Amino acid sequence: MMTENSMSAPEINRRRFLANTAMVGAAVPVAVPVAAAVHDPLLEAISQYRAGIKAFAAIPDDVLTKENERLYVEATYLPSFKAIAYGNLEASSMAGVREAIRIALEDDAINDSLAEGALKSALAYLDREGDDA
């Protein structure tokens, strides 16, 4: 008959535990989640705006006149400018938030409504995502 003093607990040590438990899950396939690409309309509009500004700046001075300047502005950066400034776009990625803030702080921001629209969009994202953003 075993008494309380004669019973011994099985010997458990860290090395044996890790060796045995590591093998338990070794053959189990695990699906690794892949982050899906997030469509960010604000980030897209900022990218289009920057491309439009570059295109406008590349127009030779002898081609650009007071008579045709508005047409070139409308053909290059104005649509994306309006989308950022007045389109109520919300950032849907951290990249969009960063670029919204960056464009608002750039020296070549065209006017205050662009900065205001970009910052409002960034703030809407941060408010929606809370502390996890």
The predicted pLDDT at position 9 comes to 52
In a domain, 22, yes or no: no
> Does some domain include residue 29?
no
Q: Please indicate, yes or no, if residue 125 is contained in any of the structural domains.
A: yes
Distance CA 125, CA 86 (A): 16
Name the residue range of residue 120's domain. Answer: 41-132
Name which residue leads in pLDDT, 25 or 45.
45
Write out the DSSP string of 17-74: HHHHHHHHTTTS--PPP-PPPPP-HHHHHHHHHHHHHHHHHTS-TTT--TTTHHHHHH
Indicate the number of domains in the chain: 1
Banded model confidence at residue 84, pLDDT cuts 50, 70, 90: very high
**H helix or E strand, kind and range, residue 109:** none
For residues 64-90, give the mean pLDDT.
95
Q: Is residue 105 part of a domain?
A: yes
Domain assignment present for residue 97? The answer is yes
Kindly give, in sequence order, each residue whose CB lies less than 8 Å from that of residue 121, ignoring residues fewer than 6 positions away. 42, 84, 88, 89, 90, 91, 96, 100
Please say if the pLDDT value at position 66 is more than 90.
yes
With respect to residue 61, please indicate whether it lies within any of the assigned structural domains.
yes
- Over 70: is that where the pLDDT of 104 sits? yes
| Cβ–Cβ under 8 Å, residues 93 and 43 | yes
Asked if the structure places residue 33 within a domain, the reply is no
pLDDT band at residue 95 under the 50/70/90 scheme: confident
